[in-house]
Amino acid sequence: MNFNDTLGQQLRLTIRDIADYPKPGIVFKDITPVLANPMLVNAITQVLVKHAEALRIDAIVAIEARGFIFGGMLAHTLNVPFVPVRKVGKLPYRTIAKEYDLEYGSATIEMHEDAIIKGWNVLIHDDLLATGGTAAAAGHLVQQAGGKVAGFSFLVNLSFLPGAEKLSGEFGVNPFYLVSF
Ligand code: AMP
């Protein structure tokens, strides 16, 4: 068993399932017990940094809100710009927006229009990959701004949903994650 497998096991044991949150039928993967363990946070950051280093990225695009936690640490450690992607109406300056489908209805995310320099290699980070709709929308915003999607990273992948296939199909890169449920 290598270091990443051991870390994956630790995450599996530490992430807390919350049944029927935020609505009936959803099992919410609560990462706050992970955040309460500094040694685990350190180990996760190291593995995410190693993945990002190999991609030679120019910026981290992180998705509100839980993506900001490790996204911030990644940007700091790699010494690259941190770019927030937020729900509609939350960013103060001029934005570009992308609407995407949810199971029922739709959602819109935004990024500042000047956040990405044309030609930048960008890593998109969030805590969890489910259907892939949010991460794909962030990827399309990066492309619209003239950036290249170099990769995606997550702590958790929900393998019973087609998020990983969606991202590799639309962007030609396999998403990286530390544990799959
Ligand atoms: P999706 O767009 O379906 O891939 O959903 C990913 C986004 O929704 C991420 O920002 C996750 O934090 C959040 N999310 C979706 N499903 C869950 C879940 N079961 N537990 C925790 N967060 C989730």
Instruction: Label residues 101-119 b or e (16+ Cβ within 10 Å = b).
Output: eeeeeeeebbbbeebbeee
Residue with the larger pLDDT of the pair 5 and 36: 36
Contact 86, 112 (CB under 8 A): no
Q: Which residues contact 24 (CB under 8 A, 6 or more apart)?
A: none
Pocket of ligand 1 (CB under 6 A): 26-29, 63, 66, 126-135, 163
Cα(129) to centroid of ligand 1, in Å? Answer: 6
CA–CA gap between residue 152 and residue 141 (Å, rounded) = 14
Domain ranges of the chain: 5-180
Q: Which of 11, 26, 134 to mutate to test the pocket of ligand 1 (most atoms within 8 A of CB)?
A: 134
Nearest residue by C-alpha to atom 16 in ligand 1: 130
Residue with the larger pLDDT of the pair 113 and 102: 113
Cα(137) to centroid of ligand 1, in Å? Answer: 13
Cα(174) to centroid of ligand 1, in Å? Answer: 18
Cite the active site residues. Answer: 66, 103
Least confident of 96-110, 117-131, 152-166: 96-110
Q: Is the pLDDT of residue 1 over 70?
A: no
Q: Which residues contact 161 (CB under 8 A, 6 or more apart)?
A: 129, 130, 131, 132
Tokens of 92: 């103060």
In CATH, the number for domain 5-180 is: 3.40.50.2020
Q: Which residues contact 141 (CB under 8 A, 6 or more apart)?
A: 61, 85, 96, 97, 98, 109, 110, 111
Contact 110, 86 (CB under 8 A): yes
CA–CA gap between residue 109 and residue 138 (Å, rounded) = 7
CA–CA gap between residue 148 and residue 144 (Å, rounded) = 9
Cα(28) to centroid of ligand 1, in Å? Answer: 8
Please report which confidence band the pLDDT of residue 10 belongs to, taking 50, 70 and 90 as the band edges: very high
Nearest residue by C-alpha to atom 17 in ligand 1: 28
Quote the pTM value. Answer: 0.97
